[in-house]
Amino acid sequence: MAAPGTQPEQDPDRTDRRVELGLGALSAAVLLLISFMIVFVFAKAWPSFAANGLAWFGPGGDIGDQLTAIFNSPADPEDYVYELRAWPLLYATALITGISVLLATVLSVLSAIFIVEFAPGWIASLLQPVVRLLAAVPSVIYGLIGVLVLVPFFGNHLITPEQKESVQYVIQLDGSSILAGVLVLTVMITPIMVAITVDALRSVPRNWMEGAAALGVNRFRALRTVGIRAARPAIVAAAILATARALGEAIMLSMVTGSIAFAPNPLDGLVFFFEPAKTFASEIVDCAEGLSVKPFGETMYAFAAILLISSAFLSFCGWYARRSMRKYTLQAR
Amino acid sequence: MSAHAQSRAPAALIERLRTAHRESWSLGDLVGVAAAWAAGLALCAIAAAIVIYMMVQGLQYLSISEMFSHPLPGLDQSQSGGFLDPILGTVVLTILSTLLAAPIGIGIAVWLTEYGKPSGLARAVESGVEVVAGTPSIVLAIFGLLVFQEGFLSFLSYEATDGVAFGRSFFAAAAMMSLIALPLIVGATREAMNGIPRHVREASYALGKDRASTIRRVLLPASRRGIGTGVALGMGRIVGDTAIVFILLGASLRLESQGDIPGLQVLQGTGSTLTTYVYNNSPAGEGGSPDKAYAAAFVLLAIVIVLNFGIDLITRGKGPSWTRA
Amino acid sequence: MTWKRPLAVVAALAVSASLIVPAGAAAKPTITMSGSTSVAPLAALLAKKYISSCGSCVNFKLLQGGSDVGISDVASGRVTIGNASRDPKPSDPGGLVFNKIAHDAICIVTNKSNPLPGIDQAGVQAIFGGQVRTWSQVPGAQASGTIDVYVRSPASGTQDAFQKVFLGSTKLFGGAPEKPTNGRIQLAVKSDPNAIGYVSLFFAQGAHAVPYKGVACTERNAKSGQYGGQRNLYMVTRGPAAGAAKAWIKWITTSPAAAAVVNTEWVSIQ
């Protein structure tokens, strides 16, 4: 983008040149650092992927045992153990992130409709700072409430002894579960989406809504058809932002979803939601102390690489989605 | 934006049109409205529940003496002093990270808006900043460990035997934390500077100023509000982050300084912040004293609310009016 | 906007920051320890006593992470001493010296509402190996329903010692939640009436310690050697201990003041 305003007519002042070069060098340096980070993480992660091939993503064996074996690798680099089948982590990450984003999208669109159209004036102006507050609460506080309130509630009041017995030979249920994780994560990412969606709904041109009213459409349906449709790029952008946030959430999930990397089994029925699980991010947090052991560290970097690829992929999806929706007029910011 | 010329019908007519077709509400629409109400009220209820619960539990266990006494290294945390050090840790880390992030962020934003050549580099820098914005903080944290455990950077933390760097210190944590605040500062500054109309710049050039001093004396002061918002947003994120502190600050209960230079000692040393203190005292860490966790969490929440309020104050004030020709 | 004001602000911050700093830590040697969560409380108590008896002659830094983490940290030179609550293994890095500092007992614990009168090795293997999953199958149990087993994470020396001393060749039940520290197991057992777990003797307070092979898990029985679940606590150094670390370890193993500290909840080797 060319700088606004006209170029000064004098020949390039030396200070100007110097400032431009200085700031440019600064920006380039930061860019270099960021690229270096990406390259480095992948370079460190490579041995783990190379040793396992595509089976890295598959099922097989207990992740806890595999990580222990990696941690206890003999000191000789020739004998490093890398074997890992990360399917439970992949599955849990996709499951928890997916369900949370779905719930959050529904919740945030409904809330946005409420704020924009149906809320009485005082509630609407109250909700503005409320949403901002919810977005600003640190994840460790969400985790604290989750682990001190939700988890014991599930463990002592919601999970019946019969449910525990039904899976007792496979896994132990103690309240730390994907349900707790999903609930808290949804509450965490909804405020981000609400703010963006409200902005988008508010910038739908007034006469579109009035046109719908003139056609005899009631307020809700007008919003549902005209408003949401027009705000779709923004909702997609918000959903992608929320997904990135959900993927990277490590601390809260490590507090409420339990300490076993278990792949919850949908065939268990309702008990499925009470089973513990671990995502890539929370596994890194739980294993942070063992990073100094080389093959173990490289396995952790492999997890980080997966997270990096996912966020890059999400950014690309967002960019592509926004581009393709541009023809529906309203431009998402 | 394809808003065309507005033909304003009188408000009364519009209102009549709206209400005239109330019978056209189908069951689905009514359910939808009910759901919208439920969602909005649920959001209020959840926020109220969180704040009230934290207040009740926090105030119950908080005592002023705790806030100002050092934590004692005890096995049973419930008998062992307060959390002054974590508070100091939060303050020191936030200040240090902001001091790192703000100049770099403003510099990048200025370069992107005012200069921006070659444009390939500018696009790349923009994408890079966006990548950092989307990167989970846990990934930044373990990358930081990688970098700061290199021997040549051991002056930034503690040097153990044989030049192996410990890698965990306020410097290390602040360096990675600044990356978290960077995209927010860059974004807010760019928005602010882009909002300054051309004629301001043109007037400055017409008076004979070159671009550098225009930026320094006209544009940056005019963008103060936007920059302030960005910095405050960044500080909010820094205060609330746990993962980077957990991995890069060494998890020592008190501020343990390293090295010999007073002042710098603290920054080379390890410590904890309110976030890791809460984490460690919850059932996810040692778990021995949820009461300490509640008290510290309450203080943390109070800090975040105050910061948020500050952001509100900054953005609410009347900005410079550019509309006068 | 001049540059003077921001500079003044930064200078003021720097000055005030250096005032907060704990004053004048001159070139005092620092001993960093990391590793076992079972050794950590003992190390903290000993460190406090040592500092007061030698007149603040050294700085201590105590981290945790589990025995395996401590051993790997000290082998790579990241810390001065690695705390370990298990015996050396063949897979440990070379060049390490395991300095024994105390004996410790591992207690099997259940919730106070379920005071199991006793358990033998076969019982431990059946429960922690996952073959027996309901309390109704355990003689003397007052709880009913599923047994909630809590174990330690793989990096733990207590886990290692438990495996070696109690389980032998039986594999641990894979569905049991892994807790990273003794304190977490203590918390889990205290709050769950159906729980069973294992902790270092110090952490058995607040829960019911189950007699093993007919012998109660107490300080006295651990000292006399009657209790079957004993293990050693070590401070591991890279090569023989030197300098401040050597003086520190020597003080622990020879000084009567140190023995008094150890004998509170552990078993002194003096």
- What's the predicted TM-score (pTM) here? 0.83
pLDDT band at A212 (very low <50, low <70, confident <90, very high): confident
CA distance A144 to B236: 19
Instruction: Give the integer Cα–Cα distance in Å for A309 and B165.
Output: 29
CA A245 to chain centre: 3
Residue A151 covered by a domain:
yes
C167 three-class SS: helix
Whether B280 is covered by a domain: the verdict is yes
In chain B, residues with a C-beta closer than 8 Å to the C-beta of A187 are 46
Residue B102 lies in a domain: yes
Scan for tokens 């000993």, then name that residue. C46
HSE at residue C218, side-chain half, CA atoms within 13 A, is: 6
* C215 strand-pairing partners: C212
**Pairwise pLDDT comparison (B62 vs A53), residue with the higher score:** A53
Per residue in A26-50, pLDDT (tens digit) is: 999 999 988 988 898 899 899 999 9
Interface of C with B (CB under 8 A): 1, 10, 13-14, 17-18, 20-27, 30, 32, 40-41, 44-45, 47-48, 59, 61-63, 76-80, 181, 183-184, 187, 202, 238
**Percent of chain B predicted with pLDDT > 90:** 13
B36 touches A: beta carbon within 8 Å: yes
Please indicate, yes or no, if residue A46 is contained in any of the structural domains.
no
Would you call A15 helix, strand, or coil by DSSP?
Answer: helix
The amino acid at C152: R
Q: Which residue has the higher pLDDT, C199 or A5?
A: C199
Assigned domain for A41 exists: no
Q: ipTM of the assembly?
A: 0.83
Whether residue B36 contacts residue A111, with contact meaning beta carbons closer than 8 Å, is answered with yes
Q: Measured between alpha carbons, how far is B24 from A319 in angstroms, rounded to an integer?
A: 39
**Nearest-10 Cα torsion for B186, B188, B190, B192:** -150
Strand partners, C197: C109
What integer best gives the mean pLDDT of chain C?
A: 83
Give the span between the Cα atoms of C150 and C136, in whole angstroms. Answer: 18
Would residue B301 count as lying in a domain?
yes
CATH number of the domain enclosing A207:
1.10.3720.10
Judge whether A60 lies within some domain.
no
Q: Is residue C46 a contact partner of residue C261, using CB atoms and an 8 Å limit?
A: yes
* Spacing of C-alpha A264 from chain mean position: 20
Summarize pLDDT for B289-311 with one digit per residue, the tens: 778 888 889 989 999 988 888 88
Size of interface A-C (CB pairs under 8 A): 80
Strands C96-110 and C195-200: antiparallel
Strands C30-35 and C59-65: parallel
Q: Is the pLDDT of residue A145 over 80?
A: yes
User: Which amino acid is it at A124?
Assistant: A
b/e C257-266 (16+ beta carbons within 10 angstroms → b)? ebeebbeebb
Q: Is residue B49 part of a domain?
A: no
Q: What is the pLDDT of residue A333?
A: 42
Overall domain count for chain B: 1
**Cα dihedral C171, C173, C179, C185 sign:** negative
Query: Which residue in chain C is spatially nearest to A155 when comparing CA positions?
Result: C192
Q: What is the pLDDT of residues C100-158, one digit of tens each?
A: 999 888 999 999 999 999 999 999 999 999 888 889 889 888 888 889 999 988 778 88
Inform me whether the C-beta atom of residue B115 falls under 8 Å from chain A C-beta atoms: yes
CA gap B262, C5 in Å, rounded: 24
Q: What per-residue confidence (pLDDT) applies to B5?
A: 46
Q: Is A17 contained in some domain?
A: no
- State the Cα–Cα distance between residues B260 and C63, nearest whole angstrom: 22
pLDDT at A303: 93
Q: Which domain holds residue A323?
A: 87-327
Contacts with A30 from chain B: Cβ below 8 Å: 104, 108, 125, 128-129, 182
| Residue B186: inside a domain | yes
Q: Is residue B295 part of a domain?
A: yes
Residue B68 falls within a domain, yes or no? Answer: no
Chain C interface mutation, best of B88, B220, B265, B272, highest count of C Cβ atoms under 10 Å: B265
- Is A332 inside any structural domain? no
The percent of residues above 70 in pLDDT, for chain A, comes to: 93
Among A302, A301, A295, A299, which residue's Cα sits nearest to residue A75?
A: A295
Please list every residue in chain C whose beta carbon sits closer than 8 Å to the beta carbon of residue B74: 44
C244 backbone dihedrals φ, ψ, rounded to 5°: -60, -40
A233 within some domain: yes
**Would residue A9 count as lying in a domain?**
no
Indicate the pLDDT class of residue B324, thresholds 50, 70 and 90.
very low
Q: Closest to A164 (Cβ–Cβ): which among C65, C73, C146?
A: C146
CB A287 within 8 A of CB A126: no
Give B267-279 as a DSSP string: HHSB---HHHHHH
Q: Per-residue DSSP letters for A148-184?
A: IIIHHHIIIIIS-HHHHHHTTTT---SS--HHHHHHH
Domain that holds residue B187: 83-316
What residues in C contact A74, CB-CB < 8 Å? 91
Amino acid, res. B279: Y
Q: Which two tokens stand for residue B150?
A: 């290199």
Residue B191 belongs to a domain with what CATH number? Answer: 1.10.3720.10
B47 within domain boundaries: no
- Smallest CA-to-CA distance from A180 within B110, B146, C114, B284 is with B284
Tokens describing residue B266: 């603290």
Nearest by CB to A64, which of C65, C154, C191? Answer: C154
Q: What is the pLDDT of residues A38-92, one digit of tens each?
A: 898 899 899 999 988 888 888 888 888 888 888 877 777 787 888 888 898 999 9
Beta bridge partners of C106: C200
pLDDT digits 0-9 by tens, B119-140? 888 888 988 888 888 888 999 9
Alpha-carbon torsion angle B70, B157, B242, B295, nearest 10: 0
Give the number of domains in chain A.
1
Half-sphere exposure of C256 (CA within 13 A, CB side): 0
In DSSP notation, C193-258 reads TTEEEEEEGGGGTTSEEEPBTTB---HHHHHHT-SS-EEEEEEEEESS--HHHHHHHHHHHH-HHH
In DSSP terms, C32 is beta-bridged to C61
